[in-house]
A and B are shown apart, each in its own frame.
Chain A
Amino acid sequence: MTEPGKSETRWQRKDLLGIRELSAEEVTFILDTADAFKEVGTREIKKVPALRGKTLVNFFVEPSTRTRTSFEIAAIRLSADVINISATSSSLTKGETLKDTAKILEANHADIIVLRHGSSGAPQFLAERLRSSIINAGDGAHEHPTQALLDLYTIRERKGAVAGLHVVIIGDILFSRVARSNIFGLLKLGARVTLVGPSTLVPREFEKLGVTVSYDIDEVLPTADVVNLLRIQHERQRKEYFPGVGEYIRLFGLTKDRAKLLKPDCLIMHPGPINRGVEIDSELADGAQSVILDQVTNGLAIRMAVLYLCGGIATP
């Protein structure tokens, strides 16, 4: 927690496109704001009028249940009106361009558009063309800023601070927007980051971002303060990236035996959905070190904070 009156930072963004563009102060500002919104969740009436009269469109071109639901509950608790549009229910399937679809949304007075899209950069594309606030709910393999913020929040809540911690992210980094946003956020807040996974999914090129790349999980685990396990998929194009789930578990799965290498207070995180028995042993996912459900709860506070901040700014 920061001392009151200490920081002069004020929020000035209408869009949240990624973590990379934020300063460390802005990241902390969102986390602090989320503290206040987490408190709202403990009230008898869990709804505040902050975004009363605003319309939020959950525009999910790529399917997602968890993130969309989290944004929807957050928006409802802020008193915004919520509309959900999925890929199948949008005109995109009829060949309408993203720009045209978004212009229609704006013409319908959508104040806030929460966009999930398969193409990296799609939220920025909209932000450059619309007056509405654009919140990135995951774009391609680029960024998933609210996921990283809720991960940072959970770490800060459990560990007191992020700076100085050793955070290990394990799994499919190459195709992961969660990994990228986490890397940017963790480094901004002063953590040390190690990426672990098959060399095909964790190319050395990532070291240029300021992280360490390792292919030896057993060597890395003993010094970890946090391990964040990413979902492993062995579908379609991934067949060329690693031989199979069995070998993945052998080399990189967080099994019960491996978990013994962890410090007793090391946090285990997972953005979900979990492949039980693949990235992580099923019992560990529900164990004392797991903060997976905290992540979900904190996700609500983070998304309320982000919607409040970006949606609450006057738009030109």
Chain B
Amino acid sequence: MTNNQNARTSPAPATLPVMDGEAINRALRRIAHEIIERNPELASVILAGIPSRGVEIARRIAGIIESLGKSPIETGVIDVSMHRDDVGKRAELPRVRASWLPLPLENKTVIIVDDVFFTGRTARAAMDAISSFGRPARIQLAALIDRGHRELPIRVDYVGKNLPTAAGERVRLRLENVDGEPDAVWLIKEENA
């Protein structure tokens, strides 16, 4: 994949722990605080999670905001499958989930919530999907991890953790309520043959 100068010889894929449950929790709290800071009118904010983990992360951020004494914040689900730009290029298709947003969107701030921000294509599809529900005042983007490698002019407004990665590396994220495993983030370095 890359023709790096270093001919490294480590045999097995290395799995590096990046965040544990506590670190994830701290990152989400920071995102929650930033959302509160930048949105004085919290009642007009909708957290729209991208299935499956984005929905869980949105739910948790909403919970944190509420626990800080703020009024309950609205959440929604925005599935991007029908809005992706690679339809017809995949050998198999995952399950599409129904989207749901509190309507109307006019004068609202919709914050797209994703687990790992990568190329930006998912965020683009999410923006497209949201606009089919109406015309919000603004759309913002939150992600637990920003691993870089954007392919579109999109940036994350609320980042839990910046995690610079190489092209051959993968980010593995597990959330208790979604995956049935303890919260954790790993960086997996795949050594190519």
- Interface residues in B122-179 by Cβ distance below 8 A to A read 128-129, 131-134, 178-179
What residues on B are CB-neighbors of A46 within 8 Å?
132
**Do A49 and B82 have beta carbons less than 8 Å apart?**
yes
Residues 88-104 of chain B: 1 if any A CB is under 8 Å from the residue's CB, otherwise 0?
A: 11111111111110000
**Do B90 and A312 have beta carbons less than 8 Å apart?**
yes
Bound: A33/B51 CA distance, A:
14
- Interface residues in A40-54 by Cβ distance below 8 A to B read 40, 43-54
Contact residue among B55, B83, B90, B178 (Cβ-Cβ distance under 8 Å from A50): B83
What residues on B are CB-neighbors of A47 within 8 Å?
132
Which among A3-11, A148-156, A206-214, A252-260 touches the partner chain? A3-11
Bound: A314/B87 CA distance, A:
8
The dominant DSSP class at the A interface is loop
Bound: A7/B95 CA distance, A:
9
With a 10 A CB-CB cut-off, give which of B55, B94, B179 has the most chain A CB atoms: B94
Known A9-B95, A36-B98: A44·B133 in contact at CB below 8 Å:
yes
What residues on A are CB-neighbors of B129 within 8 Å?
48
**Do A313 and B92 have beta carbons less than 8 Å apart?**
yes
Bound: A33/B95 CA distance, A:
6
**Do B178 and A5 have beta carbons less than 8 Å apart?**
yes
Measured CB to CB, the nearest residue on chain A to B92 is A10
Bound: A53/B89 CA distance, A:
13
Known A4-B51, A4-B178, A5-B178: A51·B98 in contact at CB below 8 Å:
no
**Do A48 and B82 have beta carbons less than 8 Å apart?**
yes
Tell me, yes or no, whether A29 is within 8 Å of chain B by CB: yes
Contact residue among B92, B96, B132 (Cβ-Cβ distance under 8 Å from A43): B132
Which 10 residue pairs across A and B have the least CB separation, nearest first?
A48-B82, A45-B132, A39-B98, A10-B92, A36-B96, A11-B93, A50-B82, A312-B87, A36-B98, A4-B52
* Residues in A lying within 8 Å of B, measured CB to CB: 4-5, 7, 9-12, 29, 32-33, 35-40, 43-54, 78, 111, 305, 308-309, 311-315
* Residues in B lying within 8 Å of A, measured CB to CB: 51-52, 55, 79, 81-84, 87-100, 128-129, 131-134, 178-179
